């Protein structure tokens, strides 16, 4: 298991099964980004389960907001989150990168590099294009007026009234 922040871990199936380790690290919430298995300890942790395939054709982007908000909400409530998939290489790092992009307002490249520094085996290759698209979506949400296809709105300038018209 790799620590991304004090309250955010990136791991794999082995980490998700290790109850002793989860409790030692005060994990309270678990985000599963894999279709292969179900929650191991549903009575002990709060789960979100995204049944995602590790395939370029799987549209994980549809779940980026939901996963990022789950991580953010859990950590803001004082919880500690484990995000995992089967190997902790592709799907779960993608979820954490999406979280960093949305809630830390980091660029795709900054978020990816940060996660790589924390866990050098990541390879979200199947989802790189979706993460780049998500970066553009987030930019549009933050600055809709900067979109080149948006209509250009000119500010209305009011001249001061001269004393003669008062």
What secondary structure does DSSP assign to 76-129, as a single string?
Answer: HTT--EEEE-SSSSSHHHHHHHHHHHHHS---HHHHHHHHHHH-TT---GGGHH
What's residue 158's pLDDT?
47
Q: What is the mean pLDDT of residues 21-38?
A: 96
Percent of the chain with pLDDT over 70: 87
Residue 130 has a pLDDT of 97
Range name among 18-32, 50-64, 79-93, 144-158 with the lowest pLDDT average:
144-158
For the segment 62-111, what is each residue's pLDDT rounded down to a tens digit?
A: 999 999 999 999 989 999 999 999 999 999 999 999 999 999 999 999 99
**Domains parsed from the chain with CATH numbers:** 2-153 (3.90.190.10)
Query: Residues with catalytic annotation?
Result: 85
159 DSSP assignment: P
Confidence of residue 144 (pLDDT cuts 50, 70, 90): confident
| Three-state secondary-structure class, residue 35 | coil
Burial of 74 (0-12, 13-18, 19+ CB in 10 A): buried
pLDDT, position 149 = 53
Average pLDDT value for the chain: 90
Residue whose tokens read 């979100």: 48
Q: Which stretch of 29-33, 90-94, 150-154 has the lowest confidence by average pLDDT?
A: 150-154
């Amino acid at each position: 298991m790799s620590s991304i922040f004090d309250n955010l871990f990136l791991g794999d199936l082995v980490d998700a099964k290790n109850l002793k380790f989860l409790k030692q690290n005060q994990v309270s919430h678990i985000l599963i980004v894999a279709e292969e298995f179900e929650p191991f300890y549903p009575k002990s942790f709060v789960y979100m389960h995204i049944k995602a395939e590790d395939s370029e054709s799987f549209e994980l982007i549809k779940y980026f907001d939901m996963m990022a908000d789950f991580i953010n909400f859990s950590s803001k409530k004082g919880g500690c989150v484990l995000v995992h998939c089967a190997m902790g290489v592709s799907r779960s790092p993608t979820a954490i990168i999406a979280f960093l992009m949305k809630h830390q307002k980091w660029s795709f490249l900054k978020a990816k590099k940060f996660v790589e520094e924390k866990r050098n085996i990541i390879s979200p290759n199947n989802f790189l294009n979706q993460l780049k698209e998500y970066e553009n979506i987030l930019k549009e949400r933050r600055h809709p007026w900067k979109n080149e296809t948006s209509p250009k709105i000119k500010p209305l300038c009011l001249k001061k009234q001269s004393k003669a018209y008062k």
